[in-house]
Amino acid sequence: MVVRDDATQAPALTQDTPPAVARRLRVITIVATFGGLLFGYDTGVINGALPYMTDDLGLTPVTEGMVTSSLLLGAALGAVAGGRLSDARGRRRTILTLAVLFFVGALACTLAPTTAVMVVARFVLGLAVGGASVTVPVYLAEISPAERRGALVTRNELMIVSGQLLAFTSNAIIAQVGGESGGVWRWMLVIATIPAVVLWFGMLVMPESPRWLASQSRFSEALEVLRQVRSRQRAEAELSEVSALAVKDEQEKLGGWQDMKSVPWVRKLMFVGFGIAIVQQITGVNTIMYYGTQILEDAGFASDTALTANIANGVISVVATFVGIWLLGRVARRPMLMTGQIGTTSALLLIGVFSLVLPSGDPRAYAVLAMTVTFLAFQQGAISPVTWLMLSEIFPMRMRGFGMGVAAVVLWLTNFVIGLVFPSLVDAIGISNTFFLFVAAGIFSLTFVKLYVPETKGRTLETLEAELRARFS
């Protein structure tokens, strides 16, 4: 299938948006992306809390990996369960449920008296993280105008990295104030309860996704929501397109495991979705987000210095995501993903080389820090925003939550395996050889993107579905 030029695809309709409509869309985006903030904080806080937790709970390299990766295993289950729930019960109601899980999970982690309780609490928190990783991008994609979908969906990625930066910064501040006092890590963990409360109260007054309402044949309600976030004329035109596709999907019974197995173009699309998910994770990004402090200590920084230096990783992630959002409005998704792969693979290669050839001390420490920052610039500026955006776009409307949920399971399970084995892998073969393994994975990923990943920029979700149906049939 010939892919048409992006510039001719996006409808130039932003100028017809009344100010009140634009404000409403902005408020919806801010409130929903508190799910992303919680995702980021709860995955990033372990980075600084783990060294203190190790002493208090008596963690070994194996139990350290279990505490870190139990959240990821929960996220894998939460992703598919959240996707199914959002397709069945609605995006808004699912996000409300996730806000409760975020609160309960964070509080349980804070109060955990033993390693076993901590592992279970992190698993519960993972259910919320996985559900949010699927439901929030889908909600934003379905409520956004086509020409602003890239910018609005990737606001969630911005909130994820902002949550990670908040975790890194609060960890450093709490460590400075609390010093070596017992239980300082509990203060690091409890902060996550605050945005969970904000998310729950905020979503109480947010609308449901108009596309989900249409998929349930609730067309008048869908039109009412579209009129909140579009001009009147555009809302009616868009509902007509969405309704026609909803009827077609209903006739084909798209929506579950059976369709994934029996409908060839859906099956091929799921393969692409799985590949995109794996590509994002086998860069090794979360080894830096979860174990960044330890990596910097291994490079030569003192413990307190490493904790503070790790804030640089959070800062560059936020800055890079701003740049990524800007780029998504100007360049195609697929080349952006490939550029990110080239950048991250090169940075990982240099981390391995520097760790191998430079003597322990300041030169190696700052060289490794520079490369982790470079790595995150490409990862958070290109790979991560494109990944979550494309996963929210490529699946058919009636099974969008389910499709993204299953792809996210693959993503989180890949993340889980990497998070679980990384400490033991570094212990067994050294940090240089570990990063060389990620370099090999990066080369594989670049090849996959070039051969199989379609372009999605500049289409409405309905136009994109028609194109992908034709391409993969």
Q: How far apart are CA 293 and CA 50, in angstroms?
A: 9
Q: What is the pLDDT of residues 177-222, one digit of tens each?
A: 876 666 888 999 999 999 999 999 999 999 999 989 988 889 899 9
More confident of the two residues 308 and 22: 22
Task: Place 106 in a pLDDT band, splitting at 50, 70 and 90.
Answer: very high
Place of tokens 């409890």: 190
Task: Place 253 in a pLDDT band, splitting at 50, 70 and 90.
Answer: low
Residue 416: per-residue pLDDT = 77
Q: What is the pLDDT of residues 284-304, one digit of tens each?
A: 776 776 666 667 777 677 766
In this structure, the number of other CB atoms found within 10 A of the CB of residue 30 comes to: 12
Q: Is residue 249 scored above 50 in pLDDT?
A: yes
| Portion of the chain with pLDDT greater than 70, in percent | 90
Place of tokens 């806000």: 99
Task: Name the residue among 207, 128, 139 with its Cα closest to residue 163.
Answer: 128
If one counts the domains in the chain, the total is 1
Mean pLDDT of 258-276: 82
Q: Is residue 13 scored above 50 in pLDDT?
A: no
Q: CA dihedral in degrees (294, 297, 301, 304; nearest 10)?
A: 50
Cα separations (Å) of 148 from 10, 172, 305? 9, 36, 41
Q: What is the pLDDT of residues 444-469, one digit of tens each?
A: 999 999 999 988 887 778 888 888 88
Q: Which two tokens stand for residue 234?
A: 């555009």
Residue 403: per-residue pLDDT = 84
Residue 200: per-residue pLDDT = 96
Residue 4: per-residue pLDDT = 37
* Contacts for 136 with CB less than 8 Å, ≥ 6 apart: 32, 33, 35, 36, 39, 95, 156
Q: With respect to residue 52, please indicate whether it lies within any of the assigned structural domains.
A: yes
Residue 29: per-residue pLDDT = 93
CA angle 297, 299, 300 (to 5 degrees): 70
Q: With respect to residue 196, please indicate whether it lies within any of the assigned structural domains.
A: yes
Residue 400: per-residue pLDDT = 81
Task: Place 129 in a pLDDT band, splitting at 50, 70 and 90.
Answer: very high
Task: Place 10 in a pLDDT band, splitting at 50, 70 and 90.
Answer: very low
Q: How far apart are CA 437 and CA 322, in angstroms?
A: 30
Residue 43: per-residue pLDDT = 82
Q: CA dihedral in degrees (342, 8, 11, 157; nearest 10)?
A: 0
Task: Name the residue among 157, 125, 124 with its Cα closest to residue 45.
Answer: 125
Residue 250: per-residue pLDDT = 64
Place of tokens 């239980």: 183
Q: How far apart are CA 385 and CA 328, in angstroms?
A: 9
One DSSP character per residue, 302-332 reads -HHHHHHHTHHHHHHHHHHHHHHHHHHTTS-
Reduced to 3 states, what is the DSSP secondary structure of residue 453? coil
Q: With respect to residue 441, please indicate whether it lies within any of the assigned structural domains.
A: yes
Domain enclosing residue 380, as ranges: 17-206+253-472
Q: Are 385 and 154 in contact (CB under 8 A)?
A: yes
Q: Is residue 170 scored above 50 in pLDDT?
A: yes
Q: What is the DSSP letter of 382?
A: I
Q: What number of H helices and E strands is found in the chain? A: 21, 0
Task: Place 14 in a pLDDT band, splitting at 50, 70 and 90.
Answer: very low
Q: How far apart are CA 210 and CA 69, in angstroms?
A: 36
Q: Which of 14-18, 26-30, 172-176, 386-390 has the highest mean pLDDT?
A: 26-30
Q: What is the CATH number of the domain that holds 33?
A: 1.20.1250.20
Q: What is the pLDDT of residues 378-435, one digit of tens each?
A: 998 999 889 988 988 888 877 788 888 888 888 888 877 887 787 778 778 877 888 8
Q: With respect to residue 150, please indicate whether it lies within any of the assigned structural domains.
A: yes
Q: How far apart are CA 109 and CA 209, in angstroms?
A: 32
Residue 290: per-residue pLDDT = 60
Task: Place 257 in a pLDDT band, splitting at 50, 70 and 90.
Answer: low
Q: How far apart are CA 387 and CA 397, in angstroms?
A: 18
Task: Name the residue among 169, 141, 171, 167 with its Cα closest to residue 155.
Answer: 141
Q: With respect to residue 42, please indicate whether it lies within any of the assigned structural domains.
A: yes
Q: With respect to residue 224, please indicate whether it lies within any of the assigned structural domains.
A: no
One DSSP character per residue, 160-180 reads HHHHHHHHHHHHHHHHHHHTT
Residue 8: per-residue pLDDT = 37
Amino acid at 72: L
89-103, 295-309, 340-354, 432-446: segment of lowest average pLDDT: 295-309
Q: Is residue 12 scored above 60 in pLDDT?
A: no
Q: Is residue 125 scored above 70 in pLDDT?
A: yes
Q: With respect to residue 133, please indicate whether it lies within any of the assigned structural domains.
A: yes
Q: Which of 11-15, 88-92, 325-329 has the highest mean pLDDT?
A: 88-92
pTM above 0.95, yes or no: no
Q: With respect to residue 11, please indicate whether it lies within any of the assigned structural domains.
A: no
Query: How far is Cα of residue 112 from the mean position of the Cα atoms in its chain?
Result: 26
Mean pLDDT of 41-49: 83
Mean pLDDT of 263-278: 87
Q: How far apart are CA 426 and CA 438, in angstroms?
A: 12
147-151, 176-180, 278-282, 415-419: segment of lowest average pLDDT: 176-180
Residue 289: per-residue pLDDT = 61
Q: Are 432 and 355 in contact (CB under 8 A)?
A: yes
Q: How far apart are CA 85 and CA 47, in angstroms?
A: 31
Q: How far apart are CA 414 and CA 92, in angstroms?
A: 28
Task: Name the residue among 134, 73, 126, 77 with its Cα closest to residue 104.
Answer: 126
